[in-house]
Structure 1
């Protein structure tokens, strides 16, 4: 087993891993980072490009992560400790599940993306996006029905919200769930598109319409997928995130027990929006690391590649391009550390209220930074960066992932607008509160 250590190439590592002081990370975080880096390298990243080209992470990798509790970090912090201990899950590489916080989560997401390609998309999304609504909002009976097998990896799930005509515009979802005459089942009809991991999932945490048009008519329920009557799935070919198993799902009179409803009818929009905060935060961390890999690869290449009688690094225009992208990258990482730290020290209610809009902004900005760094890398690699083999194949693959960062989880323009609307909402609430206090 090769020891994996920090890389000295500029921009390769976050400041705290370059030996620079940080007030944010505790000894627990640093110990976990070292153990996590080794585990993820040995069991995923060493073959990441091979998996990317094959378009699938092998099942044995998913199982290896599951057996070592290394899919648990995908869940929002604080973790569902009681449920995990029921499943004999007590720690994650030495970190007790009750001590886990969002900085541990950030380290995990950062390490998963160190290959530069999105191989983790082949194993993580169900845990990260599909599972949380079940243990956060599901009834005790629903949790007993699904969590034992999902938390131990015996079954897999995904999140299914997007449709051909409704992506970021969640309120316009048209997939219907109508109660049967005897009231014992929902009959689901509709389509879901661009569903990550859908093709390998036994269940989907699915957004459906149980009521009138608009947000108030939405609900969320657990819908069986693989081999279930009325469900037809086919894999979609997409530009990047090749291991993600992007899937088109058709639902034709799919019969689902009413007990599979998560929460209550009409609560779907609230559940979905709450779930998006965690999704967007984790995406932003991984995307920022991908940007780091792209820029560091370009930096290393420019130190050795010669043109016009000197190395690319000796060309002022090249240094200027690297500096512009590097400034964006390090600013983005400071933003991410700030958000993660705040998530560790705010209550769930305060974080949802104060950070929802900021998290949407961070996800959008992280994708912009990835675009800047990946584009910079491809341009500096030249023809090699346009080739899906050889020394530029990594930056070429990262550049193909850019749309997968800018669109899923809420497309860029929608999130930027959402972030400002949330900030205005906060401002008005605080202004009203100040006005009331001034009258006392």
Structure 2
């Protein structure tokens, strides 16, 4: 442990006691570290520069079961055993809990780059859960096995040009055909991560009138589907995450592809928000850790004015301020992971929705502070796209990708207080 760069590992991996982690978690962490380092982390910079993760990497992760930890805990044990998956590395699928999930998310972004991790994880993490929770048995059995085995890919398609965090304003329509066998879908979806590679999208569409009550979720075929056109969108960071613009022109979708019931789309989307936002909080806080530890390492070796930078009080002050934010955020995230894993789904949605939104927003704020700290301490190297500061320069360009997707920061801050106030009113009315 003595050779660890300060801030480079979570406290429980640095020899500190923790009430959360068992030997099962430690064995799982070692497995994730070995597998992900060998198959992703050491190539991440190259792939981000090239703008794509090789397709074979997705298949390799899928064959090893190392895409499954993107799903919410507990895992869909029944389906996994049907397709012959009983273990992931050292872990029985039925033993997978919220901390196993958190460990996986942290390990997959240890490169500090969100693009390669998102290329593998985002579609399955957010596109598949609605099928498990709301789809008919027939629809599940038709598509889920291929998705779990990596033979097909899926994404979540919610955002539009005029509807990002404002989900209730979605304009893409799905109207039943005259024969009643299809929904005819028209509209556009924008900023859809992994869309360009996906065979399906769990897509929020408008089947009814205005407002949230008119929304539904459809499983929309994408690749090779008549009326669907897709193109990649250039973005500031996460170059290889496959950010996609999707146009839908009279796309015929079988009515059997309706996920759940018409008019329940808003409710269905909201039930996965805790999973999505907590995953983002874990990932982004880990990314902040990478940035700050890289800055600490650089300051120990970089000499200026006749001594290492770390000898200068102003440098230590900047590291300390960012480090305090980082470790405070991580402790809070761990607590939310624990609470989420020890409450029922219904209780977690009610009690943790506002707090999880707040943690997601705060994670972006912490990443901004840690990446700015690192870039300033790296100086010109941190502003250069090659060389010693290449990673830091890339991380700073990914800050907006942490603060906007999954619910933009200002919306999350407001939502957190509104939900906590609503809970307060509900509890106090019940006690009257």
| TM-score normalized with structure 1 length | 0.97
Residue 149 (structure 2) pairs with residue 152 (structure 1)? yes
Correspondence for 2:387 among 371, 379, 390: 390
Residue 87 (structure 2) pairs with residue 87 (structure 1)? no
Distance in 1 between residues matched to 2:179 and 2:362, nearest whole Å = 49
Residue 104 (structure 2) pairs with residue 129 (structure 1)? no
Partner deviation per Cα, 1:148-187 (whole Å, 9 max, x = no partner): 1111111001000000110000000000000000111000
Residue 83 (structure 2) pairs with residue 70 (structure 1)? no
Q: 1:321·1:376 contact (CA, 8 Å) conserved in 2?
A: yes
Distance in 2 between residues matched to 1:30 and 1:156, nearest whole Å = 30
Partner deviation per Cα, 1:25-80 (whole Å, 9 max, x = no partner): 01100110011100000111110100110111111110111001000000011111
Cα distance 1:142–1:7, how it changes in 2: closer, same or farther (>3 A)? farther
- Residue 217 of structure 2: aligned partner: 220
Secondary structure of 1:194's aligned partner: strand
Secondary structure of 1:251's aligned partner: strand
Distance in 1 between residues matched to 2:227 and 2:409, nearest whole Å = 34
Distance in 1 between residues matched to 2:240 and 2:15, nearest whole Å = 34
How big is the shift at 1:309?
A: 2.1
- Residue 40 of structure 1: aligned partner: 36
Deviates more, 1:6-15 or 1:93-102: 6-15
Partner deviation per Cα, 1:205-229 (whole Å, 9 max, x = no partner): 0000000010000000100111110
Q: 1:7·1:13 contact (CA, 8 Å) conserved in 2?
A: no
Residue 139 (structure 2) pairs with residue 142 (structure 1)? yes
How big is the shift at 1:231?
A: 0.3
Q: 1:150·1:157 contact (CA, 8 Å) conserved in 2?
A: yes
Distance in 2 between residues matched to 1:88 and 1:240, nearest whole Å = 37
How big is the shift at 1:274?
A: 1.1
Correspondence for 1:269 among 247, 266, 270: 266
Which structure 2 residue ranges, 5 or more long, are not aligned?
Answer: none
- Residue 47 of structure 2: aligned partner: 51
CA RMSD of aligned residues (A): 1.0
How big is the shift at 1:7?
A: 6.2
Q: Which runs of 4+ in 1 moved over 2 A?
A: none
Cα distance 1:6–1:170, how it changes in 2: closer, same or farther (>3 A)? farther
- Residue 355 of structure 2: aligned partner: 358
Correspondence for 1:28 among 7, 24, 29: 24
Query: How many positions carry a matched residue from both structures?
Result: 431
Distance in 1 between residues matched to 2:392 and 2:87, nearest whole Å = 36
Residue 399 (structure 2) pairs with residue 402 (structure 1)? yes
Q: 1:291·1:374 contact (CA, 8 Å) conserved in 2?
A: yes
- Residue 330 of structure 1: aligned partner: 327
Secondary structure of 2:271's aligned partner: helix
Q: 1:203·1:224 contact (CA, 8 Å) conserved in 2?
A: yes
Q: 1:6·1:17 contact (CA, 8 Å) conserved in 2?
A: no
Distance in 2 between residues matched to 1:264 and 1:254, nearest whole Å = 20
Q: 1:6·1:13 contact (CA, 8 Å) conserved in 2?
A: no
- Residue 173 of structure 1: aligned partner: 170
- Residue 426 of structure 2: aligned partner: 429
Partner deviation per Cα, 1:233-292 (whole Å, 9 max, x = no partner): 000100011111000000000000000000000000011111121111111101111100
Distance in 2 between residues matched to 1:102 and 1:14, nearest whole Å = 16
How big is the shift at 1:230?
A: 0.2
Distance in 2 between residues matched to 1:278 and 1:255, nearest whole Å = 31
Which structure 1 residue ranges, 5 or more long, are not aligned?
Answer: 436-440
